[in-house]
Amino acid sequence: YFIDGIPMEGFGTSFQINNIPINTAERIEVYKGVVPIWLGSDALGGAINIITGDRHRNYIDASYSYGSFNTHRTSVNAAVTSKKGLTAQINAFQNYSDNDYRVKVDAADINTGAYAPGAWVRRFHDTYHNETLIANVGFVGTRFADKLLLGVTVGRNYKEIQTGARMVSVFGGWHRRGTILMPSLKYKKDNLIKGLDVTLNANYNLGSEQNIDTMNVRYDWYGNSKPNGTSGERSRSLYKYKNNNGLATGVFNYRLGEHHALALSDVFNTFDRKGADPLNPATVDRPQKTQKNVLGLGYSYHVSDLWSVSVFSKFLTQRNSLSTTSAAATTSRLGYGVAGTYFVRPDLQLKASYELTNRLPEAQELFGDVENQEGNPNLKPEQSNNLNLGASYNLPLNADDRLLVNANAVYRYSYNFIYNRLNNNQSRLVADNRDGVRTLGVDGEVRYSHKNRFSAGATLTYQYLQNTQQIEPGYTGVSPLYLDQMPNIPYLFGNADASLTLPNLGGKGNSLSLGYNLLYVHQFYLYWPSLGGNKLNIPQQLSHDLNVVYSLQNGRYNIGIEGRNLANALLYDNFSLQKPGRAFYVNLRYFFTKTTN
């Protein structure tokens, strides 16, 4: 995930994708297949970039939401900009939820031993809240910078931990706290010299995290507890640490003429976890440091509205410090690719790309997250050959109606494929490598729209990931898992949506919007299919959402009602962690902007 082209991996737990208010985003860019060179990422298969936008120079956008499970969300975004371009901006938001939704589990009373398979119980230790403020000051729209902002992000979060990696482990006291204190620099200037666009970003997170596990008890799903040794609920700890995340990016695009362009990008990340535990003072932290750099160079040629082609290369390096007794290890990888698009006619576009790409291990995968992700310092970089084919048909049926059809196919063969599995006692996740994984996939989208009043569409994705590792630890000869479908990865899923807008309802400038969303995930394997009766399918999931929004005075005042998972279906995350059931929310929003000459 990216925000305005900046990778989010170093932002800390107070600023994550599920914390960001929806009205902060102006639009969301989704890239499938080749990731643009200017994002400077080692991501495989695509990326999501959230554009916050700055089209409003003087505005205030405030919203509040309340709903099920005692969930509160508040957001205030505002900017003041002078005629000469001096600007001050703030984005402030908070989230709070008890997350006390009901789940279906096999429960046993810790005191009596009474066992109840398929019992409905309420989560009792899953409260979460965060408060974050982003402040920027600088210049926009001047002769020396389209954007020059000095900023700081400050925030804190609190999270109770209800379960381990699977819902068989239950906790009632373990929690964690965190802070973010992140100064930042953003600079952007198009045509710094004729044809040269420059974007620079930098930030460094000085925040801290603390893991708090001090209760020597064991809990059951009914909230009962009893004493359990001296080792806390999982591992007695007051470990406080800093991850010392830093990021610097530079993107340079140079237009050589009407048809030619060069792009150069560089993204540098650093991570250096340091901490101490007063409950375990004799324990000395081993080095947990990684530095990653992605250097990209690309050339593109395009003929407007007819065809384009681009060639690119990425050079990736990673330096990991994992031990006090051995030197840091440095890994280098080279990737390259070509992508092209051709308009058979104005409404029919064909796309194709090939890329030899690399994914370097993330810090959390190497060192863990001090919660439910166990570190694997021996994790290897993943490399894959990727071939993507696609077509897009954008047909105007008449002056008011339009039909869009997209279809894509992908073939990928990955070496040292990185995936998450359960550790040996199934209490945490751990990232690991498979020698080889073959992926075949297709996806399609159909969308119909009528003016700006009605839109309906559906997408469907099928992906088959096949294990090609022949030798397995603990087995002699060819592994029984050879050519198995990869477990714990959905292979057939889709969604559908429809929206209707009734303009000038109840007065000029007022409107009523109705929306519907459907989510479908076919059942998939939790464990390897070859394990027979032990593979434990994750059931099919089908969810329905509805929303109604009434806007007054051209969007200045807005009130909305939202219903999620209306059928109260059982929904699951990976490793069968259950998501919330039926929920309702009321959303209020005020937006005002002032135009300056």
Is the confidence at residue 15, as pLDDT, over 60? no
2-3 and 46-51 beta bridge pairing: parallel
pLDDT given for residue 437 in this prediction: 98
pLDDT given for residue 12 in this prediction: 58
437 forms bridges with which residues in the sheet? 414, 467
pLDDT given for residue 4 in this prediction: 73
**Mean pLDDT (whole number) for 541-562:** 96
pLDDT given for residue 55 in this prediction: 67
Q: What is the pTM of this model?
A: 0.89
Domain boundaries along the sequence of the chain = 2-450
CA 68 to chain centre: 24
Q: 565 with 517: CB under 8 angstroms? A: no
CA 493 to CA 544: how far, in whole Å?
14
Burial of 31 (0-12, 13-18, 19+ CB in 10 A): middle
CA 459 to CA 436: how far, in whole Å?
29
Residue bearing tokens 């992140």:
182
Is the confidence at residue 412, as pLDDT, over 70? yes
Question: Considering the domain 2-450 in this protein, what is its CATH number?
Answer: 2.40.170.20
CA angle 201, 204, 210 (to 5 degrees): 145
Give the containing element (helix H, strand E) for 365.
helix 363-367
pLDDT given for residue 547 in this prediction: 97
**Mean pLDDT (whole number) for 430-437:** 96
Residues 30-49 have pLDDT tens digits of 777 677 766 766 666 667 77
**Mean pLDDT (whole number) for 151-164:** 96
Q: Which amino acid is at 478?
A: V
Residue bearing tokens 């090609």:
468
Please report which confidence band the pLDDT of residue 386 belongs to, taking 50, 70 and 90 as the band edges: very high
Is the confidence at residue 64, as pLDDT, over 60? yes
CA 199 to CA 111: how far, in whole Å?
61
Residue bearing tokens 């009523």:
512
Residues 478-528 have pLDDT tens digits of 998 999 999 999 999 999 999 999 999 999 999 999 999 999 999 999 889
Q: 23 with 63: CB under 8 angstroms? A: yes
**Mean pLDDT (whole number) for 8-23:** 62
pLDDT given for residue 76 in this prediction: 95
**Mean pLDDT (whole number) for 572-588:** 92
Please report which confidence band the pLDDT of residue 51 belongs to, taking 50, 70 and 90 as the band edges: confident
pLDDT given for residue 19 in this prediction: 63
